[in-house]
Chain A
Amino acid sequence: MISENATMSPSETPIEGVDLSKWYGEVIGVNKITLSIGPGVTGLLGPNGAGKTTLLNLITGQLRPSQGRIGVFGKNPWGNSSVHRFLGYCPDIDSFYRGMNGFEFLRAMLCLSGFSGGAARKRSIAALETVGLTEQAKKKIGAYSKGMRQRLKLAQSIAHDPEIIVLDEPLNGMDPLGRKQTIDLIRDFGRQGKTVVVSSHILHEIEAMTNTIVVMNNGKILAEGNVHEVRELLDQFPRKVLIACDKPRQLSAKLIECEDVVSVRLEKESQELLIETIKPDVFFDRLPDVILSNKIEVESLTSPDDNVEAVFKYLVEEKRR
């Protein structure tokens, strides 16, 4: 039974959903999900529209389940503001109060959380330092880059030192350095024993943070567990590679000999090679050698279905079989 009272019980599972559904009229957001998330970093992976944000909003008590139940340390988060004492949320929404600088925003958020002025100030300074925004603390948020705004949202989610941190696409709009720093930070939170849930639609981002993933599509959980197991599953999915070069026939002859290459087709109109491989990593490791040794001039190289939507489509088909 999920309680309304909100004192944290360490013995309870940090996040637990049972038969959880959420629909908006006829549109299904989340469909009969049962999951349990423990301490450490858990990646929530899925294409746009998979239901990730709906699930995160259910966890953070912003949405009421249409069916089933959700518990945060055993407490029902819906309409239960005290749950937020031990839960921090970094929303995907890129909106802030007008005219504030980063420090003022954080201090205001902490005062709203019940910290006195002095405590809020100290915690704001600490959170800004953690996310690497100390230098920009007194700059207006309106002048921040997208990456800096993402860091500020991350700072407000961790400033009150919550046990559970829920991050909705935290790496969106970050530059490579910012991404690396944020990934390191998220891994640190996991190492500290906090429960961190991170959503993303990019597999390698999630892989960089954690081994534990939950894969979602169309409001359902397609796979969950170790990222390597899911990777193996994904590796069964032949990936397409399109190469435009000056000697397509010669390249075709060389590539068809490789075990991982399932098919090679010459596109007559464009003189491009369409290759299907079951081991894209191996294929891309070998390709430069083949090109150089045969003195082939490559004009372009694209992977038309190397996107997460294609992978999820494949997983959905696998699930149906």
Chain B
Amino acid sequence: MSDFSESTAEVGLPGPIQNVVARSLYQIWAIVRLTMRNLVVSKRTILMVLLACVPIGIAVIMRSVMPEEGGRPASQDLFTGQFIGLYVYFVVILTTIFYGTSLFADERSQRTITFLLIRPLPRELIVLGKFLTYVVSAGALLVASLAVTYSIFMGLDRDVTLFRQTVPFLECARAVVLAVVAYGAVFTFCGATFKRPVIAAFFYCFVWESILPYLPIFLKKLTVMHYVQSLIPNWIPQGGAGGLFTLRVEPTPPATAVWTLIGVCVAFLILTALSLRMKEYSFEKEKEL
């Protein structure tokens, strides 16, 4: 055991980092490494990668059934008008639900959260470190999946210039990243607060946001989806089965949508930190009393 041959008697044991800012940054980095490590060994990550591959598979199928010449819609319009909506509504939301809620729910179910809460580690830093890890990993996975899907679609249009191809992609990528950020913050809050966070998250996305087409316009603006959709170029609102009864709301200007989504993220991260501060994560109720 050469790695462990140092005698503790000879080793002057150093103390913690003295500078508060440097120590806080280092602690965030420690949280990021620990969370990333947990994500890597988690079965959930395999599920997420498979989920991110679904749109790629759909794109391949769509491309193979489309006629090569004439009689088909422009690939870019098809992608930005319809496909990206489905992409955000299913792939992004499912990924953010399962990743976002797991940040704290996994620690709680595996009972490792105790080890975080008995450190001289402010709970705000725990939230920040975990959320950063989530944004980087989920964002990278989804943007990569989007890029591959987009390139498969655009491969049909050989005459479109690179610039014309790149700008809509970047706009879609911006929408996906901001959806990851905003939905992620909401679901991180669910994970830290509720005992069954996935149910709460599903309720929010597939019940509350689903009934909104039938609700007054001002209520639609109380959803994350509205602002994400506002960022998608050529977004075609879906009327749904009850299209006659739906009220269509005009998209919010992109800059407003971006800042609103960032605001949602900040607000829910603050709520998560407060929840973590106020909540008692103790397991002895189950064990002893």
Contacts A49-B288, A62-B118, A63-B282 given; does A115 touch B16 at CB 8 Å? yes
CB-CB < 8 A to B114: which residues of A? 62, 91, 93, 95
- Pair A115/B17 contact, Cβ less than 8 Å: yes
- Give bound CA distance, A123 to B14, whole Å: 8
- Pair A64/B23 contact, Cβ less than 8 Å: no
- Closest A residue to B38 by CB, please name it: A97
- Closest B residue to A6 by CB, please name it: B120
The main secondary structure of chain A at its interface with chain B is mixed
- Closest A residue to B118 by CB, please name it: A89
- Pair B4/A84 contact, Cβ less than 8 Å: no
- Give bound CA distance, A115 to B30, whole Å: 10
- Pair A113/B120 contact, Cβ less than 8 Å: yes
Nearest chain A CB to B136 CB, angstrom units:
18
Residues of chain B from 1 to 53 with CB closer than 8 A to chain A in the complex = 1, 3-4, 6, 8, 11, 13-17, 23, 26-27, 29-31, 33-34, 37-38, 41
Contacts A53-B287, A79-B277, A97-B37 given; does A119 touch B120 at CB 8 Å? no
Residues of chain B from 237 to 289 with CB closer than 8 A to chain A in the complex = 277-278, 280-285, 287-289
CB-CB < 8 A to A114: which residues of B? 16-17, 23, 26-27, 120-121
- Closest B residue to A117 by CB, please name it: B26
- Pair A62/B16 contact, Cβ less than 8 Å: no
Nearest chain A CB to B271 CB, angstrom units:
16
Nearest chain A CB to B163 CB, angstrom units:
45
Q: List 20 A-B contacts (CB under 8 A).
A: A24-B289, A48-B288, A49-B289, A51-B289, A57-B284, A62-B114, A95-B112, A96-B112, A97-B112, A108-B34, A109-B119, A111-B30, A111-B33, A116-B17, A119-B15, A125-B4, A126-B11, A129-B8, A130-B8, A135-B1
How many residues of chain A have a CB within 8 Å of chain B?
A: 57
Asked if A112 lies at the interface with its beta carbon under 8 angstroms from chain B, I say: yes
CB-CB < 8 A to B289: which residues of A? 24, 27, 29, 49, 51, 54
CB-CB < 8 A to A126: which residues of B? 8, 11, 13
Nearest chain A CB to B139 CB, angstrom units:
24
Nearest chain B CB to A70 CB, angstrom units:
14
CB-CB < 8 A to A60: which residues of B? 118
- Pair B112/A92 contact, Cβ less than 8 Å: no
CB-CB < 8 A to A87: which residues of B? 118
Contacts A111-B30, A129-B8 given; does A81 touch B123 at CB 8 Å? yes
Show the binding face of A for B, using Cβ within 8 Å: 24, 27, 29, 48-49, 51-54, 57, 60, 62-64, 79, 81-85, 87-89, 91-93, 95-100, 103, 108-109, 111-116, 118-119, 122-123, 125-126, 128-130, 134-135, 137-138, 156, 160-161
- Pair B16/A122 contact, Cβ less than 8 Å: no
Nearest chain B CB to A84 CB, angstrom units:
4
CB-CB < 8 A to B41: which residues of A? 98-99
Nearest chain A CB to B1 CB, angstrom units:
6
- Pair B14/A118 contact, Cβ less than 8 Å: yes
- Pair B1/A91 contact, Cβ less than 8 Å: no
Which of A51, A88, A111 is the most central at the interface, judged by chain B CB atoms within 10 Å of its CB?
A111
In the A-B complex, the 9 residue pairs with the smallest Cβ-Cβ separation, listed nearest first, are A111-B30, A95-B111, A53-B284, A119-B14, A126-B8, A114-B16, A85-B120, A84-B120, A114-B23
CB-CB < 8 A to B161: which residues of A? none
- Pair A112/B34 contact, Cβ less than 8 Å: yes
Asked if B122 lies at the interface with its beta carbon under 8 angstroms from chain A, I say: yes
CB-CB < 8 A to A103: which residues of B? 4
- Give bound CA distance, A99 to B36, whole Å: 12
- Pair A122/B11 contact, Cβ less than 8 Å: yes
- Give bound CA distance, A119 to B11, whole Å: 10
CB-CB < 8 A to B3: which residues of A? 137-138
- Closest B residue to A159 by CB, please name it: B13
CB-CB < 8 A to B23: which residues of A? 114
Asked if B116 lies at the interface with its beta carbon under 8 angstroms from chain A, I say: yes
- Pair B112/A62 contact, Cβ less than 8 Å: no
- Give bound CA distance, A103 to B15, whole Å: 18
- Pair A128/B30 contact, Cβ less than 8 Å: no
- Pair B11/A112 contact, Cβ less than 8 Å: no
- Give bound CA distance, A54 to B280, whole Å: 11
CB-CB < 8 A to B277: which residues of A? 79
- Pair A112/B116 contact, Cβ less than 8 Å: yes
- Pair A134/B4 contact, Cβ less than 8 Å: yes
Which of A60, A103, A109, A135 is the most central at the interface, judged by chain B CB atoms within 10 Å of its CB?
A109
Contacting A115 at CB < 8 Å: which of B14, B34, B117, B287?
B14
